[in-house]
Structure 1
Amino acid sequence: MRNSLDFTSWQGLLSTLLGLVLVSLVAVGIRIVVMLSVQQRRERQNRQINERLKTLIAAYKVLGGSFTGELAVDPSHLRELRTRGLQAEAEGGADAGLPASDRRRRIRDAVETALSDVILLGTEEQVRLAAKAAADMVAGRSVETAELVVSLRTFIRAVLDLDPVPPTLGIPKQGPLRLKGTATRGERAGGGGGMGGGGMGAGLGAGMGLHHGAAEAEATISSERTDP
């Protein structure tokens, strides 16, 4: 290194300075490239963690959104629910069981989606619990999600650096979120027909009122012309 440094002349000093600047620029460039690659990898990992955490939080809200009522998922399909509704209509009232059947179907569909997300992005324990719940659903058995909800809650709080839930707190069992049923096709058609009939009646009444007012005005003008 000492032999490469030449301070005996201006040309040697200039070449030495240029060499030092070139080495410094190369070192700084390598450092910047390494820092950018590390930063990009860290940002990619943060995005992956955020997406995973967001998906698992959504699954937790679906699987453990209620504390009261029916906490087990009915695995029946739409065909079976319609059969039950028809049997209930034959045995009981006119609309027996239809809103409840629609709500059970929607809850089952939402729970299926949440279980699929947990199997994709959950931990080993969560995947095992979600796979067991999915197998019970396929076999036609009622599915309880309380154990899976506890595992999701513990994992999410640990990732967010939150204190664990005290075991002596005694949180009740959690079940799937209860969704509201949609209106049936007959109810929607009936509501639309009522609104259409009301609009037609209002328009007809307004037309008759205008015709009657015009007739009265014409009669008044004719009587004023005939009076002396």
Structure 2
Amino acid sequence: DGISTLDAIRGDQYVQNASIYQYIEGPLAVVGGYVRTTGAVPGLSGGEYATAPSLTVSPTGNTWTNNITAIDPDFSEFWDGTSDGRRNYTIDVSTGTVIATDLQWGGDGEVLFSTETEGDVGITYDRWNNSLWILNHDTGLITDYSLTGEYLSSFYADDIDIFGTALAMDIDRTLWFVIDNSGIISHYDIEGNWLGEDFYDPLGYSLGGEIAAVPEPGTLAMASLMSGLFGMAWLRRRTSLRGTSL
């Protein structure tokens, strides 16, 4: 129950890799070309993965446990994550509380702000605006907040007829997210215009998602929990997901 894998995509290629703990590795951040996961709830664990152009990922040996106690650990749950290269960020599913940690998902965490909205599950960093975009699982509302919680803008993802998760910002400043248990990754610009979608049959329920711009061929990696939860991180890209791989 909750068996996880870490998967990778480039174009039509899809590779499924084993995760370290194979159990609910949820929030994901891409830091310096590495994927770093942590447990979806306090007490569960994740670790660091090195990526390769072959779409394989390998544990580096670095592991850590979700010890976030900045909010009540008995009731908190974190699906998605992101990073600005200085800190990692995640959001509590039930309260919308945005938490910052160090780059290894360590420590108690620091509360930055709260959306005070249940179902805010997706989070991704916008380096152009130094802000955080947050996706609501239930409504499809995608909102841009400053790092202090100031509302900046929002739109509804109109194509959602089932729940959305795993929000990620591409290097062309467009947004992608997974439509739960459908195999579909949907694509929007930041004004809310739908740009299309891609389909990957093995894609299931989703937790975290990220796209990183690094000097490697474009690659998308994912952590999948086969029996009900799924996390993903988009990795090692220097073109947009729509663009041609170098």
1 or 2 for the larger relative contact order (CA 8 Å, sep ≥6)? Answer: 1
Taking structure 1 as the reference length, the TM-score comes to 0.20
Specify which structure has the higher proportion of strand: 2
Structure 1 or 2: more helix by fraction: 1
TM-score (normalised: structure 2):
0.19
